[in-house]
A and B are shown apart, each in its own frame.
Chain A
Amino acid sequence: MKFGIVVFPGSNCEHDIYHVAKHLLGHEASFIWHKDTAFAGVDCLVLPGGFAHGDYLRCGAMARFSPIMGAVKQFAERGGMVFGICNGFQVLTEAGLLPGALVRNAGLQYICRDVRLRAERQDTPFTCRIRPGTVLTIPIGHGEGCYFAPDHVIQELEKRRQVVFRYCDPKGEVTADANPNGSLHAIAGVCNEKGNVLGMMPHPDRCAEEVLGNADGRRMFDSIVHAWTQARRNRI
């Protein structure tokens, strides 16, 4: 399969994704510059971490107007897999592809450490190889990762099961202490209604091989490949 990695000026995790896709999974990967207006043959689009356009004004605010975003939206509307990690998540919310917003961490500090995540649902292409309730260890690295949405939006998200990951303790319990940034409902990752667009603040791309001491992140990429394989099989 082919991963397309959208690169904005200021993105800095595009090579992490490339490495996972190409060298760990053995699939194709290519970079898509933000000034391009189209791409072809891509099965999964990834918006990587970093500081797109310097995070000027608000994180992700300027990236939304990059020429490539029209094609990204079309791809998402057609049901293509779109995966935003960290800054990529911020871009997807600013672009209106995902609900809510990411604001300054409650504790004000930039946090760079491992957190525990509880997987909430398996019926998305990004989590189809992860049982609900599984606790994953994945690192975060952000200053603006506090998930916020108005009350009625949060209620809708919960009703439609759009919360895919929540911050939790090692036992999988959602507690105030386990929430690193003050996110409402401990939300670490959400998807759109159809489930084909996912954004998450933690970085599975930074822990996808044992040599780094943790391969939990790989399970998400394995899920993506599995979903793609299944979809292809169904088409044939």
Chain B
Amino acid sequence: MKARVYVTLKRGVLDPQGKAVCSGLHQLGYREVTDVRIGKYMEVTLGGLPRQEAEKRLHAMCEKLLANPVIEDYRFEFHEE
């Protein structure tokens, strides 16, 4: 089982990278872009756990390590291989 984990900066946390990319897109002529926020994408492969249990454990992993709850939010989705 594979989980796709998305870690994003909380609203209110400055994202200078996103700002720089946003202005880059403007320079390329994509004026419709009003904001860019950059986050992290992780693929976590889990073995031998029922879905519900895996979900519970992945929440704990996100809270303990994969995301910093002071500055980041996370979400994930599972997909079978």
Contacts and interface: CB of A to CB of B under 8 A. Distances in A.
A105 B70 contact: no
B17 A94 contact: no
B16 A108 contact: yes
Interface in B55-81: 65-66, 68, 70-71
A58 B7 CA distance: 12
Interface string A93-112: 11000001101111110000
B70 A108 contact: no
B33 interface: no
B66 A57 contact: yes
| Secondary structure of the A contact surface, majority rule | loop
Interface residues of A, number: 20
B68 A101 contact: yes
A146 interface: yes
Contacts of B70: 93, 100-101, 148-150
A94 B20 CA distance: 26
B14 interface: yes
Interface in A102-156: 103-108, 146, 148-151
Interface in B1-43: 9, 12-17, 20
A189 interface: no
A94 B70 CA distance: 9
Contacts of B9: 103
B27 to A, nearest CB: 16
A106 B16 CA distance: 6
Contact of A107 (B15, B16, B68): B16
Interface of A: 57-58, 61, 65, 93-94, 100-101, 103-108, 146, 148-151, 182
Interface of B: 9, 12-17, 20, 65-66, 68, 70-71
